[in-house]
């Protein structure tokens, strides 16, 4: 498994890499001192696993994860126990308090191996078509929503929020669960947080980065991640 170590303390970083060298299942492909450096390294290497400090100058490890357009597995390494609950909003394998011992690190890697070998049953749900009607209840309001009227979908932790016909409602499903049922030639994963209906795009402009800004019919602007821009061009090309 390819991993990157992100830690602002050089001593702690080198010590962790040294301990990881005893675990042949983990290949450290890079290291970074700050989230800004890590973000560039992650874009190049696309690692399977991050060993990530949380409390760092300028930007936290949690903020770094929120900015990524995919979800690597994470083993947190931190001196602060306060972030433990928030850390498990991500694909967290373990939460190690510093100083990290070899025994504790070995236990975390054992969890990682176990997670990889256990086959989790996935409930089979029928794929939706653009004419499918889905039932959505938002508080006391109930809606039967035609799929093609959904303009975009936003990830909100354990829920998604769908935007349709000037309305919005929460659905208690993960972004991955929802994405698996959508017609992939119409609904496009623009970034880690957003899926857009390509038929609801009013305009496209180049973004400050290497992606595009998608202006939706309701005026919302959604930025495509660099990782997904090529897929967007493919979907919209002749």
Retrieve residue 182's tokens. Answer: 């959508």
In terms of DSSP bridges, do strands 194-197 and 49-52 run parallel, antiparallel, or are they unpaired? unpaired
Structural domain spans, the chain: 2-117, 133-236
Average pLDDT, the chain: 86
Flag whether pLDDT at 20 surpasses 60. Answer: yes
pLDDT level of residue 144 (50, 70, 90 thresholds): confident
Predicted pLDDT at 82: 62
Predicted pLDDT at 94: 87
* Residue 103 neighbours by CB under 8 Å, 6+ apart: none
Phi, psi of 26, rounded to the nearest 5 degrees? -110, 125
DSSP secondary structure code for residue 81 in this structure: G
- What are the C-alpha distances in Å from 185 to residues 134, 147, 199, 214? 19, 13, 10, 16
- The helix/strand/coil state of 185 is coil
Predicted pLDDT at 29: 96
Q: How large is the average pLDDT for residues 145-167?
A: 90
- Same topology between domain 2-117 and domain 133-236: no
pTM: 0.55
CATH architecture of 2-117: 3-Layer(aba) Sandwich (3.40)
- Contact (Cβ atoms closer than 8 angstroms) between residue 30 and residue 41: yes
Flag whether pLDDT at 120 surpasses 50. Answer: no
- Span 183-221, pLDDT tens digits: 999 999 998 889 999 999 999 998 877 789 999 999 999
* Residue 2 neighbours by CB under 8 Å, 6+ apart: 27, 29, 45, 47, 48, 49
DSSP secondary structure code for residue 45 in this structure: H
Burial 72-99 (b: 16+ CB within 10 A, else e): bbbbbbbeeeebeeebeebebbbbbeee
* Residue 125 neighbours by CB under 8 Å, 6+ apart: 180, 181
- Span 47-94, pLDDT tens digits: 999 999 988 888 888 888 878 777 889 999 988 666 554 545 556 788
Percent of the chain with pLDDT over 90: 47
- Span 152-162, pLDDT tens digits: 999 886 688 99
* Residue 1 neighbours by CB under 8 Å, 6+ apart: 25, 26, 27, 48, 49, 112
Residue with structure tokens 């659905």? 171
Tell me the C-alpha distance between 226 and 214, whole Å. Answer: 13
DSSP secondary structure code for residue 175 in this structure: H
pLDDT level of residue 17 (50, 70, 90 thresholds): very high
| Correct CATH for 133-236 of 2.60.120.380, 3.90.1150.10, 1.25.60.10, 2.40.50.1020 | 2.40.50.1020
- H or E element, residue 62: helix 61-67
Angle made by CA atoms 214, 185, 135, in degrees to the nearest 5: 90
Tell me the C-alpha distance between 226 and 193, whole Å. Answer: 14
pLDDT level of residue 223 (50, 70, 90 thresholds): very high
């Amino acid at each position: 498994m390819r991993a990157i170590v992100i830690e602002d303390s050089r001593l702690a970083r080198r010590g962790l890499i040294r301990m990881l060298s005893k675990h042949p299942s983990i290949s450290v492909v890079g290291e970074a001192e700050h989230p800004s450096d890590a973000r560039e390294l992650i874009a190049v290497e696309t690692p399977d696993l991050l060993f990530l400090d949380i409390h760092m100058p300028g930007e936290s490890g949690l903020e770094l994860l929120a900015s990524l357009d995919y979800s690597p597995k994470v083993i947190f390494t931190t001196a602060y126990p306060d972030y433990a609950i928030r850390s498990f909003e991500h694909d967290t394998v373990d939460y190690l308090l510093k100083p990290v011992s070899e025994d504790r690190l070995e236990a975390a890697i054992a969890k990682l191996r176990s997670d990889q070998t256990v086959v989790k049953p996935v409930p089979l749900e029928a794929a939706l078509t653009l004419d499918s009607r889905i039932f959505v209840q938002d508080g006391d309001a109930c809606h039967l929503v035609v799929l093609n009227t959904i303009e975009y979908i936003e990830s909100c932790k354990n829920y998604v929020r769908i935007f349709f016909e000037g309305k919005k409602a929460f659905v208690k499903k993960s972004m991955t669960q929802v994405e698996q049922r959508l017609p992939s030639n119409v609904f496009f994963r623009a970034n880690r947080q957003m899926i857009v209906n390509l038929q609801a795009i009013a305009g496209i402009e180049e973004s400050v980065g290497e992606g595009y800004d998608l202006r939706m019919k309701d005026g919302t602007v959604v930025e495509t991640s660099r990782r997904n821009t090529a897929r967007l061009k493919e979907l919209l090309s002749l």
